[in-house]
Each structure stands twice: as C-alpha cells, then as structure tokens.
Amino acid sequence: MNVVITGASKGIGKAICLLLAKKKVNVSFCARGQEGIDQLLNELKQTNPDGHYYAQSVDVSDKAQLLAFGDFCTSKMGNIDILINNAGIFTPGNITEEEDGALEKLIETNLYSAYHLTRKIVPAMVANNSGHVINMCSIASITALPNGGSYSISKYAMMGFSTVLREELKEKNIKVTSILPGATWSNSWVGVDLPESRLMQADDIAKTVWNTIELSKSAVVEEVIIRPQLGDL
C-alpha cells in the first residue's frame, strides 16, 4: 500500500506516519523543516527497515511546490492508494481583530493545499478505479471556536470541500473520509496550564485514521468526530 501525507513531521501527521510504518505501508510525506523530515525518516526506518519512505520539504501554501511534490510522489511510488491531506496551521484571533492577511494565509495552507494536491493525485485513482482520500478537518469545521477567527473559516471550508469530494467520487470507487479532531496534544500546547490528560493524544487520531483504512471496499467512514472525554476546550 502506498500513502501520501502532507504536514507529517510532527503532531498528528507524524503519529500517522509512524503507525503506517508499523503496518508495513510505504509513505511519501512532506513538511516545511528539513530537520523534522530527517528525524522522521530515521524513526520510520527504525520502525520498519523494509519500508519505502520518501520526503520533500514543501511549503504547502505554494501551489507550484505542492504540485511538484505530487509529481515526486508519483515518480517514487507509482500508484498511490491513499492521500491524507493533513497539513494545516492555526493562528488565533477574532475576525475583526486579527492581522490583515490572516484569512488568505489560512485558506491557502488549510484548504487550497488539499484542493490542489487532490486534483493532482486523484485522477490516477479514478483511472485505477480505486483509492481513498482522507481530509483532516477539525471540530472547528462544525463549531465556531472562541478566538478561532479565520482558522474556523478555513476549517469550515475544508469540511465543505471534503463533503463535495465525497459526492463527486463515490460512483468512481474512491472513498473520501473527513476526520474532525478536537484538542490534541502537541508541542503547541506545551506551557499551557492544563494537564496533558485533558487533551487527546496524536496516536488516538492516527489509530482512527487506520481504522477507516481497514474497512472493506464496500464500506466507507464518511466522517469521524473525536473529542477529548471531558469535551472541547
């Protein structure tokens, strides 16, 4: 099985990659920082030395870089079975108070990246009559979070993209799954006055992604909402 994932060097993306390696899946991934890429490549090889792993440093808000990454993945892997649109950024703020350009940056990173890479990779899935697109949405895709601002707008849009894609591809034997996680522990939460146990773990989301992959060809998980046991923060 060949999987492509964006935003993979830390947090949820990294957890997904490491679980895929344990499951003996070949992975192509991208991230911004080369140091994080090199570290993840080493961990993947330690997890499963027989796996095939390919990586590029990519700014997913840059369409040209993203399309070049799509070509890179195809050249290395041939047929791509699963695309996981995971890359995303969070910038806090209220709509009327956030910095000028916040919406554009968040839309380019959180939505356009998934749109452009999907358009690059899915046509080959359609030709093969098989494939699965997994889009990392958010609780913010269905709930206006305090201080969410343009982040929430971008994630609402991501959910809309994923829903439309599901309708367009279901007759072509391509699965589309939307994952909507709530607060999940990562380095961005370090220093926050909360116990780590109050948040979900990145492994929780990775396991959920794998569960959607494991289903038979005749079944699809259309969307999954995952929250901390005590609710949203």
- Domains of the chain plus CATH, in order, are 2-226 (3.40.50.720)
Residue-wise pLDDT for 82-99, tens only, equals 999 999 999 999 999 999
Residue-wise pLDDT for 187-227, tens only, equals 667 778 888 889 999 999 999 999 999 999 999 999 999 99
pLDDT at 230: 93
pLDDT at 186: 80
Which residues are within 8 A (CB) of 18 and not within 5 positions of it... i.e. 6 or more apart? 43, 44, 47, 206
pLDDT at 76: 97
- The H or E element that residue 83 is part of is strand 82-85
- 162 contacts 222 by C-beta, under 8 angstroms: no
Query: How far is Cα 112 from Cα 126, in angstroms, rounded to an integer?
Result: 21
- The H or E element that residue 120 is part of is helix 113-128
